Amino acid sequence: MAAIEGEVKNESGKLEFSLDVPFPSSREAVIALRSLSPDREPRKGGIEKELTLSGSTLSVRWRADEARILRVSVNSFLDHLSLVLETMEMFGPPVSQ
């Protein structure tokens, strides 16, 4: 179950949204991080996305100027995350290298 921290305005006036996604293993979390990291935001300004890894938990934090931009970015990320999870499920647990 993913942990979600709602939208809040920080001291700079930007909206923030955080999401923690636990995985069964740190290897699967690394695979998800590598799969999702190349996706940069299409807009140059107005939004920042940071992905970090702690053990088997992938954490994502967004900072945005506008709620609409934040919503589009989070929705897009969730679509990609869903695809990564479906692919992992289809191919089974990762094999150690």
Q: Over the stretch 25-61, which tens digit does the pLDDT of each residue have?
A: 999 999 999 999 866 666 667 899 999 999 999 999 9
pTM of the model: 0.80
Extract the tokens encoding 63.
């900072």
Q: Using an 8 Å Cβ cutoff, are 14 and 65 in contact? A: yes
The 10 Å Cβ neighbour count of residue 64 is 23
* All domains in the chain, ordered by first residue: 14-89 (3.30.310.50)
Q: Over the stretch 62-86, which tens digit does the pLDDT of each residue have?
A: 999 999 999 999 999 999 999 999 9
